[in-house]
């Protein structure tokens, strides 16, 4: 048994710092996760249009066993340059892999597409993301951080409403901590048909995303209508134009092979919270970090620990998705979930 962590954020996992920065004029932003010590890491990429950097080295057979940071960014492929800023910040502090006397920080990254949200994207030869990556590192801290229109989730959309960055955590009685942070930019809907509740409502803890009761839904269709462009005043989705990107973290001692199994389970959380998910229009990407500050002394098989962490991670992902969208404020023509739910349910 357990409960949501004291912060209900990724930073409930000991040894992690999180930093966010956003550029209001660009309607885009960057989020960075900085482990205090190099951490084991894995990745699981789904959907048809991912945008990633330094993910091949996270394969189980690859040499690198730990990373120095994980970077999430808006800006589509331009946003991958945020990781260069993070690398520079780390290298200046001597953090990274020492390769023949040269410090090389390992910073895997993923991006989401927010180029269509009305912000000024005419940045010419110098996209802002390298600088935003540096600023996100400067802002990184333990403790609480805001949700919604922040960091990588600043310019995100979720179906036909405003998306955002969310986080959730879980602490077991024996000290195991698992948490998730997700920037929600999905083409699918986080709300049931008729906008009556969150799909993730059955996993909600203590009214963390409004306490709107789960509304029974007709599940005979996929929850997406690509013909809604005129009504919603948004463009018909294109491949790679939507995605959920995020980070799972635990204080357990797990290597990157075990974390890969955790991620296979954690993606189920996206399926609980977004419908449909992993479409050709999405590039859903989740990273997993293990800070190894808690040792399982139960004597259970390692596979049991992996299954336990993965099960909790899936629930945290679903909750993080809904929390991010619930916290998001309207942006441009995009309404907030709170406005849409209020109109449909009169809560």
| Complete domains list, the chain, with CATH | 2-345 (3.60.70.12)
Q: Quick: pLDDT tens for 108-165.
A: 999 999 998 888 888 989 999 999 999 999 999 999 999 999 999 999 999 889 999 9
Alpha carbons within 13 angstroms on the beta-carbon side of residue 200 total 29
Q: Among residues of the chain, what percentage have pLDDT more than 70?
A: 92
pLDDT at 237: 54
Residue 183, pLDDT score:
99
**pLDDT tens digits, one per residue of 40-98:** 999 999 988 899 999 999 999 999 999 999 999 999 999 999 999 999 999 999 999 99
Q: Are 185 and 324 in contact (CB under 8 A)?
A: no
Give yes or no for residue 331 having a pLDDT over 90.
yes
- Model pLDDT, residue 129: 98
Read off the pLDDT of residues 219-235 as tens digits, 9 standing for 90 and up.
555 545 543 333 333 44
Residue 216, pLDDT score:
67
SS (H, E, C) 59-94: CCCCCCCEECCEEEECCHHHHHHHHHHHHHHHHHCC
pTM of the prediction?
0.93
Query: What local confidence, expressed as pLDDT, does residue 241 receive?
Result: 58
Closest C-alpha to 145, from 134, 157, 136: 136
Count of alpha carbons within 13 Å of 15, Cβ hemisphere only?
A: 21
CA distance 32 to 138: 10
Give the C-alpha separation, 80 to 120, whole Å.
18
**Predicted pLDDT at 47:** 81
Q: 198-234 burial by CB neighbour count: b if 16+ within 10 A, else e?
A: bbbbebbbeebbbebeebebeeeeebbeeeeeeebeb
Listed in sequence order, the residues at least 6 apart from 66 whose beta carbon sits closer than 8 Å to its beta carbon are 38, 39, 40, 41, 106
């Amino acid at each position: 048994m357990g409960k949501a962590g004291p912060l209900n954020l990724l930073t409930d996992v000991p040894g992690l710092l999180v930093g966010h920065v956003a550029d209001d004029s660009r309607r885009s932003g960057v989020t960075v996760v900085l482990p205090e010590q190099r951490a084991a890491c894995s990745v699981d990429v789904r959907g048809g249009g991912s945008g990633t950097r330094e993910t091949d080295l996270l394969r189980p057979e690859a040499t690198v066993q730990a990373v120095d940071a994980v970077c999430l960014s808006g800006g589509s492929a331009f946003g991958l340059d945020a990781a260069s800023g993070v690398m520079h910040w780390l290298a200046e502090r001597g953090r990274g892999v020492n390769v023949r006397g040269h410090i090389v920080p390992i910073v895997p990254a993923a991006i989401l597409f927010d180029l269509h949200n009305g912000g000024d994207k005419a940045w010419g030869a110098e996209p802002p993301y390298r600088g935003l990556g540096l600023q996100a590192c400067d802002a990184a801290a333990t403790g609480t951080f805001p949700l919604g229109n922040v960091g990588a989730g600043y310019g995100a959309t979720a179906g036909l409403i405003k998306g955002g960055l969310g986080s959730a955590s879980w602490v077991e009685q024996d000290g195991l901590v698992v948490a998730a942070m997700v920037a929600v930019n999905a083409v699918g809907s986080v709300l049931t048909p008729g906008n009556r509740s969150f799909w993730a409502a059955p996993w909600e803890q203590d009214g963390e995303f409004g306490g709107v009761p789960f509304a029974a839904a007709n599940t005979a269709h996929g929850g997406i209508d690509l013909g809604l462009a005129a009504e919603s005043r948004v463009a018909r989705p294109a491949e790679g134009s939507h995605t959920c990107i995020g980070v799972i973290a635990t204080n357990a001692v797990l290597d990157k092979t075990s974390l890969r199994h955790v991620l296979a389970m954690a993606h189920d959380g996206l399926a609980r919270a977004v419908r449909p998910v992993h479409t050709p229009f999405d590039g859903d990407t989740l990273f997993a970090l293990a800070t190894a500050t808690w040792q399982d002394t139960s004597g259970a098989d390692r596979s049991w620990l992996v299954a336990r962490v993965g099960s909790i991670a899936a629930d945290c992902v679903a909750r993080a998705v809904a929390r991010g969208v619930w916290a998001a404020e309207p942006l441009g023509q995009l309404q907030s979930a709170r406005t849409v739910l209020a109109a449909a349910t009169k809560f």
